[in-house]
Amino acid sequence: VPSEMGPVFWGCLLLWSLCMTPTQATYAGIKARVTQRALDFGVQAGMEMMEQIVKEKNIPDLKGSETVEFLKIDYANYNFSNIKIHAFSFPNTSLAFVPGVGIRALTNHGTANVSADWEVRTPLFHDRGGANLLLSGVYFTGVILPTRLAFGHPALGLQDCHAQVSHAHVSFVGELSALYNTFSDPLEKLILKNLNAMLCPIISGEVEALNANLSSLEVLTKIDNFTLLDCSLTSPPEITEQYLDLNLKGVFLPLDDLADPPLSPEPFELPERLDSMLYIGVSKSVLQSASLAHFTAGALSVTLSTREISEHFLLNSQGIGSVLSRIADLYILSQPLVLRIMATEPPVVHLQPGNFTLDIPASVVVLTQRRNATEVEPIVSMDFVASTSVGLAILGQRLVCSLSLNRFRLSLPESNRSDIKVLRFENILSSILHFGVLPLANKKLQQGFPLPRPYNVSLVNSDIEVLEGFILISTDLKYEMSSKQQPTFHGWGDVNWIRRPGSGQPAP
């Protein structure tokens, strides 16, 4: 850059950086915190799971050729088949956070009992039989590196792997077992040499296999018939001495439009708590995106006939007859009435400490179908805003919600104000919402939303609270698996997984 252009160049660069930095910031809509208690639980559950998997794992045959110096044999072709791990123990196993790096895994004083069929061919003889192998002094340490791949997929890496087996004891089974057992010492050294050279590559291979499974997990989850939830990682995991934080996008999208909504999540921080194993923070922007996605998909509307409304008024002392007769009297009608209620804008979410409310701008149209007519005709339409309180609870493995009406404000078009009194209809429609529409909504909401969890891991001691700008879920975990169960993944219950266009995967 010419010297006279230097100040101009650096000035433009500074302005460019100031303009670009804010727009590049991507804040998480959902934050998940894994504490040391969760790692300790992972050790316990992991050992039980590993024991189940290892005992039923088909281990491939081990084949090779070695020079047997103690027998003066140039080569011996060997094959170990039907390899089974019958028992193993890793009494000293731990997981710990390495700030800014990953999770250190450490185990020592491990043991394993292995059986196998063997076959040996040499220039001098050919024989086969069975053998039992006891491994002891098993040691492993390595750092697991959680990271983020393209399109927000999670991935794991392994660094500083060191694995070693200190002792191996072989006992042969068969007619010549006494003879072979006299030569077990050189064979044990050979087994240790080969085994110790193979351990870290085997472990690295298992991590790569796990990554293949992780990369197949979809970052878009179908929640219902209208929306998807984008749970892609927005950044690599953040690791401190006491916890690991996952930052997830947390955006609801309509099924037929996977473009990001025009919403900007505000940053929020999880409270510094470590009593539970897992903390999940759901920001206001996630709930607002759910509101927008359902509104865009046309899910926020309901049409109720006289019969449907009456079913929900029967248990109420006011009775459907008194309410609907007042409407009928106003218009001197005897025909059946139909109410069509629909949101006119996305409901607005408010989160204050201990208080979750929704303001729902909507309209209601009263229609009737005259005798011998095929179509309904509107009588009157009105706009209103309903303020509802949202109750939240975790029951079992599901998040359950309920709605209750706080306030109801009705507005009529100017042309209708001379025909009907606003206050009179406010009372009528408030009753219909309170005793007719909300029970319908709560009936569906009581089914709950399944919470994500690994296989055979249950959420226990769960709690949910509303804080400033976000909802906080805290929970412990419990692992249960019978001897006949196979490890399988259970995510969001029976939901379907969808891939986002552009991720190289098929879209819905």
The CATH H-level superfamily of 58-216 is Bactericidal permeability-increasing protein; domain 1 (3.15.10.10)
pLDDT in tens, 252-275: 999 888 888 888 888 999 999 999
DSSP 353-421: TTEEEEEEEEEEEEEE--TT-SS-EEEEEEEEEEEEEEEEEEETTEEEEEEEEEEEEEE--GGGTTTS-
HSE-up of 251 (CA within 13 Å, CB side)? 23
Rounded-to-integer distance, Cα 236 and Cα 234, Å: 7
Please determine, looking at this structure, whether the domain spanning 26-38+221-299+451-508 carries the CATH number 3.15.20.10.
yes
Please determine, looking at this structure, whether the domain spanning 301-388+407-434 carries the CATH number 1.10.1060.10.
no
Rounded-to-integer distance, Cα 208 and Cα 201, Å: 10
User: Using alpha carbons only, how large is the chain's radius of gyration in Å?
Assistant: 33
| Cβ–Cβ < 8 Å for 392, 355 | no
pLDDT in tens, 57-86: 777 787 777 676 656 667 778 788 888 888
The pLDDT of residue 109 is above 50 = yes
3-state DSSP assignment of residue 192: helix
3-state DSSP assignment of residue 288: helix
Can you count the helices (H) and strands (E) in the chain?
9, 23
Does this model's pTM top 0.75? My answer is yes
How far out from the chain centre does Cα 282 lie? 12
Residues 368-387: what's their mean pLDDT?
77
- Give the chain's mean pLDDT: 78
pLDDT in tens, 210-219: 888 777 777 8
Q: Which of 168, 165, 167, 161 is nearest to 200 (CA)?
A: 161
Identical fold between 26-38+221-299+451-508 and 58-216 = no
Domain extent listing, the chain: 26-38+221-299+451-508, 58-216, 301-388+407-434
